[in-house]
A and B are shown apart, each in its own frame.
Chain A
Amino acid sequence: MIDMKKFILFLLFASLATAGMAQKPDSTKNTSSADSLFNSMNAVNKKENVVVFESPRLILTQTNETVKKKNLNVIFVHRFGDFAGPSGGGKFFYGFDDIADVYLALQYGISDNLNIEIGRNTLPLVGGLVDLELKYALIHQTSDNSSPVAITLIGQTGVRPYNSYATFGDRVSYFGQVVFASKLSHRFSIEVAPSIVQNNLPVPDLSGSPEQIFSLSAAARLKVTKLLSVVCDYAHPFGSYRNAVGFSDPLGFGIQAVTGGHVFTINITNSRAASEINYLSNTTSDYGRGQYRIGFTISRMFDFTHKETFNPKR
């Protein structure tokens, strides 16, 4: 009988111990079984691509972002004449009388990661440049931080259709860039982009001017409100030729408004040209001489994903 009592006591102890153990994970969270299943299911973090910049283009440089599949982005970049200096000021209505460059482009998403873009730069001083570009988002930044940076490749061919050149080859320039971009916080994103420009005929075509220019671009965006961001954009071409007097580094400041399918950017930059090939090769306008200008970029996205074929699992 005593043995039996001992056995019962042992059983009680054992059951209490196991009950305590079994309830431990639940009781610390103070949740029911439904809640704990719900919480464990919710804890599974879905890996997602981070939107680093909300537009494919800032002021001077392009971002890592691409236009999504079957989307067409119509881009219009305008730079006015010098705000101050000898060709600016009140007489020229602070540059509004003049056009430094106009860039019109169509950018289309072949896939979510691959874009093709065709554009034309006016650039009255040089006589225009037509460019064809492929842009490929190689790596996306991910929400689980398995990839802290996004990497996008840009390849561009530019042809100068006007003026007289010895051969067709002399009209051609190439541009290649690798964009490393990262969204550092909810509001702040940066990018660094090394690039190379190859001008078959050096720009400017003077002795000592190299055909190839290495450069490094850097840009940042600070989101101020839900709609407005402050953008800063800078590029530095390397080489002793461009370190000499006469050249300056393109630098732009702007305010960007992103409203769904539209992106507006109002900016101030010393660069006259809108195209990478042009502004990296030959930026001589300088803030110090009043050769900065007001410019703007407008882009509008059209989505050709057909309603009937709209697949929510896309």
Chain B
Amino acid sequence: MMKFICILLLALIIPKQNGGDLYLCKNAKITIYSSALIEDIKADSNFGLSVFNPATGELNFSLLISSLQFEKAFMQQHFNSDYMESDKYPRAIFKGKVQEHVDVTRDGSYPVTVTGTFTVHGVTKPRTITGTITVKNGIVSMASEFMVNCADHHIDIPQILFYHIAENIKVTVSATDILYKSPSNQ
């Protein structure tokens, strides 16, 4: 009977950890690049958010659009107010699942395919994005590069503009996720 109680107690404890450890990065570097007629447009943010659950493969990314810093202040204002309408749609969000198993306890580099949904400018599209996950000493680094089509996300490009942005924008993501320790678990 004592054994049974022990098993029962164990069974009660185990589900708490079954959700798996989470890996978090609050300063993912996200760059957008668009080649344009007069000059190339480039902006970057160091405030991307990434949450990764190696047990389930869940991988989420988000970026506050207005945190993208442009070289020129008026370009940034224009990008936020006229292209992205970032007051209405403040964030770009990717929610996906890594198709391959990534063993975070073993160092190595894993080419991955992430399938999920990508929401920009209030429009959600299914996307499959490839990238690399590198594990080293328990630190999970991620890198990816993909294209975003403006029309897919209903991002209108006004016609009479001096700073045209291209129809497709290259997005580069690099994140270093570390094991997340919830304050409540401490």
Contact = CB atoms under 8 A, between A and B. Distances in A.
Interface residues of A, number: 44
Interface string B53-97: 100101010101011010111110110111001011001010100
A202 B64 CA distance: 53
B151 interface: no
A105 B8 CA distance: 81
A11 to B, nearest CB: 6
A286 B72 CA distance: 42
Contacts of B78: 258-260
Main secondary structure on chain B at its contact with chain A? mixed
B87 A305 contact: no
Nearest to A262: B162
A15 B9 CA distance: 9
A98 interface: no
A128 to B, nearest CB: 30
Given A19-B15, A32-B56, A38 B62 contact: yes
A34 B58 contact: yes
Contacts of A71: 73-74
Interface of B: 1, 4-5, 8-9, 12, 15-16, 19-20, 22, 24, 26, 43-46, 49, 51-53, 56, 58, 60, 62, 64, 66-67, 69, 71-75, 77-78, 80-82, 85, 87-88, 91, 93, 95, 156, 158, 160-163, 180, 182
11 contacts: A1-B1, A34-B52, A34-B58, A41-B49, A46-B67, A50-B87, A186-B85, A227-B82, A227-B158, A259-B160, A303-B71
Interface of A: 1, 4, 7-8, 11-12, 15, 19, 22, 32-35, 37-38, 41-42, 46, 48, 50-51, 54, 68-69, 71, 143, 186, 225-227, 257-262, 301, 303, 305, 307, 310, 312-314
